[in-house]
Amino acid sequence: MELDDGFDDDEPTGQWLPPDDRLWRHPSEVAAFPWPDATRRTREPRAWTTAVLAAAISSLLTTGLIAASGGFRNKTTVVRSTESVALPVAQRSASAGNNQIVDIAERIRPAIVQLDVDTADSKGSGSGVMIRSDGEILTNNHVVQDARSITVIMADGKEYTARVVGADADTDIAVVKIDGPQFATAPLGSADGLKVGYVAIAVGSPLGLAGGPSVSVGVISALGRQVDSRSGPSLLDMIQTDAPIAPGSSGGALLDSSGAVVGVTTAIAVSDVGAEGLGFATPIDIARDVADQLINTGKVVHVWLGVEGEDVTSQTAGDLGVDAGALVRKIRTGSPASQSGIAVRDVITSIDGKAIRSMAALVVALRLRHPGDTATLGIVHDGKTKTVKVTLAERPKTLT
């Protein structure tokens, strides 16, 4: 599988991917739909491998367009226009669930904006979430990367010129700012407490279509996903959803059933047969912390523990005397870890009482901490459990 950035003007690859080529790939390495002589559209700005893709063409039904869905390997399924499938008004209104979605959509749409971005070699569009009434907008780094100009289009059609406040490639989060009157803001919730099967509502501005943001509905499909890339940092602790997401929705909002933002829509999985229907969102807890740092200081400071390692596997668990955790393979000289007594082959199993079951989980846990914080790590050393205290430091610039 690959991560597509939602840009539609990438050059055709001129070759087919083998059926078993299911790696996460940068869009410059392979087209999103690698069919010969395919006509491509304009794209979002040059992006990191994450972004949202044309997986969810079903979200276009509200425009009355005829869309194609399915695997594209055999026959194409044609979806009828909304006129031919719409339910009677009385039947639609009878559903309490529908009414709840309608209420949420009406409340949130004024706070979701479209970003039209010009770079030196491309034009494209993305989405953003208004998080402060003074015009601070949360979006993805890859949406505004290398931007020469950014135009923000509100749900009511009003346009504003925006500037980049700051961006962080590690989390693919950025903040842009517009000046104007008091703006409607989106309520920010928390990804903590989410469970697989919960309702998920995606809101964004797909394909740069006029008329305001689009709304699609699905469920939380999985939590804590790691999405790897060949050309950028891995996305960690991602929320997976089947709520349809379309190109241009990068930087949009993923909501829970109360209408609170629990994630920033960031990526979708694509294989050689097309979109897989797997969307990914950055948890709002991480996105909000990054945004606050960017707004307050213009940069993001990442903490440093100074260990490198891997996950405990079924092959190594028996020898290590633990069933899960972050196995330390290397300790950086002069790092906080080297001064705390952590040793190679130790397994980190918790941080401040919260279980750590993988190296990615350790990285995610550290992202919510700051230089100077003291953390208590649970360690398994030679089969015996102990705790160590470590004072976290700022990650050296040579490691960024």
Q: For residue 341, is it left (φ>0), alpha (ψ between -120 and 50) or beta? A: left
Which of 116, 172, 237, 272 is labelled catalytic? 172
Question: Residues with Cβ < 8 Å from 232, sequence gap 6 or more?
Answer: 26, 48, 49, 50, 169
Whole-angstrom Cα distance, residue 145 to residue 355? 35
Whether residue 302 lies in the annotated active site:
no
CA distances from 110 to 105, 176, 221 (A): 9, 17, 27
Active site residue 142: yes
Sign of CA dihedral 201, 202, 204, 208: negative
d(CA 282, CA 335): 28
Give the contacts of 122 (CB within 8 A, at least 6 positions apart): 7, 9, 42, 43, 45, 46
β-bridge pairing 67-69 and 2-3: unpaired
CA–CA distance, 376 with 393 (Å, rounded to integer):
14
Pick the catalytic residue from 59, 205, 229, 250.
Answer: 250
**Considering just the CA atoms, what is the radius of gyration of the chain in Å?**
22
Secondary structure of 171-210 in the HEC alphabet?
CCEEEEECCCCCCCCCCECCCCCCCCCCEEEEEECHHHCC
**Is the CB of residue 267 less than 8 Å from the CB of residue 52?**
yes
Which helix (H) or strand (E) segment holds residue 163: the answer is strand 159-168
Neighbouring C-beta atoms of residue 73, cutoff 10 Å: 10
Pairing of strands 303-304, 253-255: unpaired
What distance in Å separates the CA atoms of residue 135 and residue 61, rounded to the nearest whole number? 31
d(CA 115, CA 142): 12
Can you list the alpha helix ranges (DSSP code H) found in the chain? Answer: 82-85, 89-93, 96-108, 141-144, 284-297, 314-320, 359-367
The beta strands (E) that lie in 205-243 are given as: 214-227, 235-241
Active-site residue, 381 included: no
Work out the number of other CB atoms within 10 angstroms of the CB of residue 323: 12
The catalytic residue among 142, 214, 237, 335 is: 142
Catalytic residues: 142, 172, 250
